[in-house]
Amino acid sequence: MKLDNSVSVLVPLKAEYVSIVRLTASGIASRMGFDFDAIEDIKVAISEVLSKIIEKHWDCDRIEIRFDYLEDSLAIIFRLPGNFSKQLFGDSTDDFAFAIISSLMDSVAAGEEDDIVLSMSKKLERAV
Amino acid sequence: MFELTTGSNESGKKIIILSGEIDIYSAPDFKDSLFNAIGEGKEDVVLDCTNLSYIDSMGLGILVAALKRLKQNDFNLYIRNSKPNIRKLFKITGLEKVFIMEEAK
């Protein structure tokens, strides 16, 4: 069941803002009760996704990262405002970034809507 | 932000001390600093990661490039005293078998 306390951050799609999103994620995950290791996992996965998007040099100025507090997990959705349908990894799922993201998170999925690039989640019970 | 300093040599190995965070923002500076410190890669290099709190896949890629430069001259790159969260990334990416991982002396 989704609770009514999602958090969204909208930041410029620039390398210098990745650490800000990382800090935000850390605060949210901590508040939800994730332990230190799980918080580190989430921070790393978020940074990898953002770095990959920035590397692509897509024609977007800003990115929205939404954190949904679910009953037993944290869902993180990366949204590029505008009509968007590009694949973040495409065929290159063998690189370091994909290996890291898929190992650290419980689920990773390409966006189902046009402006969602990727969504991923981490279960809370794994951290207990 | 990250910091890279060169320590005193130890048994013929160059000691490079890393601290802070290496991510997409700091990676270009990290690459320049590391390759300057390694030079032509004609001695073994130890990266002391005691105070390195974060590294991403871009940083790992730079370490692989540095290792390649050293290997061309039959030298090696040692990763010393990395924190558990960083060692985890080496394991996930298979790099723990590529680099020589060692604990602090």
Question: Residues of B with CB below 8 A from A55's CB?
Answer: 24
Instruction: Tell me which amino acid residue A29 is.
Output: A
Over pLDDT 90: what percentage of chain B?
A: 90
Q: What is the pLDDT of residue A3?
A: 54
DSSP string of A28-66, one letter each residue: HHHHHT--HHHHHHHHHHHHHHHHHHHHHT-S-SEEEEE
Q: Average pLDDT of B17-23?
A: 95
From the number of C-beta atoms within 10 Å of its C-beta (0-12, 13-18, 19+), residue A33 rates as exposed
Report the C-alpha gap between B55 and B20 in whole angstroms. Answer: 9
Question: CB contact, 8 Å: A47 with chain B?
Answer: yes
- Is A1 domain-assigned? no
pLDDT bucket at A71, cuts 50 / 70 / 90: confident
* Interchain CB distance below 8 Å, B56 and A47: yes
Report the C-alpha gap between A112 and A87 in whole angstroms. Answer: 11
Strand partners, B51: B19
- Is A81 domain-assigned? yes
* Interchain CB distance below 8 Å, B24 and A50: yes
Instruction: Give the ipTM of the model, two decimals please.
Output: 0.82
Q: What is the pLDDT of residue A83?
A: 56
DSSP code, position B61: H
Contact of A82 with A63, CB cutoff 8 Å: no
> Which residue segment(s) compose the domain that A94 sits in?
7-127
Which residues, at least 6 apart from B91, have a Cβ–Cβ distance to it below 8 Å?
Answer: none
CATH classification of the domain holding A13? 3.30.565.10
CA end-to-end span of chain B: 26
Residue among A18, A48, A54 whose CB faces B57 most closely:
A48
- Is A88 domain-assigned? yes
Q: Is the pLDDT of residue A128 over 50?
A: no
Over pLDDT 70: what percentage of chain B?
A: 98
| Residue for token pair 């605060």 | A27
Q: Work out whether strand A116-123 and strand A73-79 pair parallel, antiparallel, or are unpaired.
A: antiparallel
- Is A61 domain-assigned? yes
The verdict on pTM exceeding 0.90 is no
- A9 or A59: which leads in pLDDT: A9
- Is A85 domain-assigned? yes
Q: Average pLDDT of B59-70?
A: 96
Report the C-alpha gap between B66 and B18 in whole angstroms. Answer: 14
Q: Which domains does chain B have, with CATH numbers?
A: 2-102 (3.30.750.24)
Helix, strand, or coil (residue A28): helix
- Is A2 domain-assigned? no
- Is A26 domain-assigned? yes
Q: Please tell me the total count of domains within chain A.
A: 1
Contact of B48 with B7, CB cutoff 8 Å: yes
Q: For residue A31, what are its two tokens?
A: 């508040």
For residue B37, the distance in angstroms to the closest alpha carbon of chain A comes to 24
Whole-number average pLDDT of chain B: 93
Q: Is the pLDDT of residue A127 over 50?
A: no
pLDDT bucket at A126, cuts 50 / 70 / 90: very low
* Interchain CB distance below 8 Å, B24 and A54: yes
* Interchain CB distance below 8 Å, B25 and A40: no
Q: For residue B31, what are its two tokens?
A: 């690459």
pLDDT bucket at A26, cuts 50 / 70 / 90: very high
Q: Average pLDDT of A121-125?
A: 89
Helix, strand, or coil (residue A100): helix
* Interchain CB distance below 8 Å, A43 and B54: yes
Q: Average pLDDT of A33-40?
A: 93
Instruction: Tell me which amino acid residue A38 is.
Output: A
- Is A90 domain-assigned? yes
Q: Average pLDDT of B40-59?
A: 94
Contact of B73 with B55, CB cutoff 8 Å: no
pLDDT bucket at A92, cuts 50 / 70 / 90: low
Report the C-alpha gap between B57 and B85 in whole angstroms. Answer: 13
Sign of CA dihedral B8, B10, B13, B15: negative
Q: Is the pLDDT of residue A5 over 60?
A: yes
Residue among A19, A37, A51 whose CB faces B58 most closely:
A51
